[in-house]
């Protein structure tokens, strides 16, 4: 199933305009990242400065990255503590852009569910779309949105290119430096308005099969 998802091309750029590879700076937020040395990961102002500096020094307009990255940043919230182990494996791609930046549906979709996930460093405002091509159904999750975007109803159609949500401010996006968490999900089960975006590193194989790399639906031109 995952190979079919990877073969699906976006019909519209998710950020509303076509960014080249030169515009997009890959950001490494892993536990061993040089860009985070000396940064207090519990301080979002310090994290924001590190991210914005990396984008500026890279000559870009936006930042991206994070799929299957092991991160230490989640230690700042009990939301990611799971018994004797902490969830730290990031399952989506982050797109770092200004709050208020519109997010467009990359392919035709239908609103599956939405919610305000309010725990510290959770998704904040969240929308999940379902997509169908032939016999294949899959889902895309959009996290850290503006609260005003939660006006949709399950079943609403979202044609490709529709600016259906926006990157949220920290007070509504879970307390994060503004960015979009974009995740591809092959089987959502009974989840409504929420789905794990960070997993235990020991469960990497399971989650990478369930949530393939969503860059196939983003893509930057050369």
Coil vs helix vs strand at 166: strand
User: If we measure between CA atoms, which residue out of 10, 5, 13 comes closest to residue 163?
Assistant: 13
Contact assessment for residue 15 and residue 96, using Cβ atoms and an 8 Å cutoff: no
In whole angstroms, give the CA distance from residue 158 to residue 130. 10
Give the model's confidence band at 17: pLDDT under 50 very low, under 70 low, under 90 confident, else very high: confident
Q: Give the model's pLDDT for residue 1.
A: 47
> In whole angstroms, what is the distance from residue 61 CA to residue 139 CA?
28
**Residue 152 backbone phi and psi in degrees, to 5:** -70, 160
Say how many C-beta atoms besides its own lie within 10 A of residue 125's C-beta.
25
Give the distance from CA 9 to its chain's centroid: 18
Task: Confirm if 39 and 75 have CB atoms less than 8 A apart.
Answer: no
Q: How confident is the model at residue 36, as a pLDDT? A: 92
Residues 6+ positions from 122 with CB-CB distance below 8 Å: 77, 79, 174
What is the architecture of the domain spanning 2-217?
Distorted Sandwich (2.70)
In this structure, what DSSP letter does residue 203 have? G
In this predicted structure, which of 5-9, 56-60, 105-109, 187-191 has the lowest mean pLDDT?
Answer: 5-9
Return the residue matching tokens 């494996």.
Answer: 89
Neighbours of 167 (CB within 10 A): 25
Point out which residues pair with 104 in neighbouring strands. Answer: 163
> From the DSSP assignment, how many helices (H) and strands (E) are in the chain?
3, 14
Rounded mean pLDDT of 20-45?
Answer: 92
Domain positions in the chain: 2-217
Span 66-91, average pLDDT:
76
Q: What is the pLDDT of residues 142-185, one digit of tens each?
A: 999 999 999 999 999 999 999 999 999 999 999 999 999 999 99
> Among 70, 80, 59, 62, which Cα is nearest to 28's?
70
Helix intervals (H) in 69-220: 204-210
User: What is the enclosing helix (H) or strand (E) of 139?
Assistant: strand 136-145
> How confident is the model at residue 76, as a pLDDT?
57
Check: CB of residue 55 under 8 Å from CB of residue 62: yes
User: Is 22:222 a contact under the CB 8 Å cutoff?
Assistant: no
79-133 pLDDT, tens per residue? 665 555 577 899 999 999 999 999 999 999 999 999 999 998 999 999 999 999 9
Q: Residues 135, 158: contact at Cβ < 8 Å?
A: no
């Amino acid at each position: 199933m995952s190979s079919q998802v990877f073969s699906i091309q976006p019909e519209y750029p998710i950020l509303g305009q076509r960014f080249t590879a030169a515009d997009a700076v890959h950001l490494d937020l892993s536990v061993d990242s040089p860009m985070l040395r000396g940064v207090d990961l519990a301080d979002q102002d310090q994290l924001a400065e590190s991210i914005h500096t990396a984008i500026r020094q890279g000559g870009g307009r936006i930042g991206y990255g994070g799929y299957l990255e092991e991160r230490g940043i989640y230690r700042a919230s009990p939301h990611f503590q799971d018994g004797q182990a902490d969830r730290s494996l990031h399952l989506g791609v982050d797109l770092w852009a200004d709050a208020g930046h519109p997010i467009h549906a990359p392919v035709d979709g239908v609103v599956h569910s939405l919610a305000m996930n309010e725990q510290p460093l959770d998704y904040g405002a969240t929308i999940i779309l379902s997509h169908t091509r032939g016999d294949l159904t899959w889902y895309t999750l959009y996290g850290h949105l503006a609260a005003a975007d939660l006006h949709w109803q399950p079943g609403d159609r979202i044609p490709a290119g529709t600016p259906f949500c926006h990157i949220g401010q920290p007070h509504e996006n879970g307390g994060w430096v503004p960015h979009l968490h974009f995740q591809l999900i092959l089987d959502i089960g009974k989840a409504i308005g929420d789905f794990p975006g960070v997993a235990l590193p020991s469960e990497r194989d399971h989650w990478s099969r369930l949530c393939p790399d969503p860059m196939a639906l983003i893509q930057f031109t050369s």
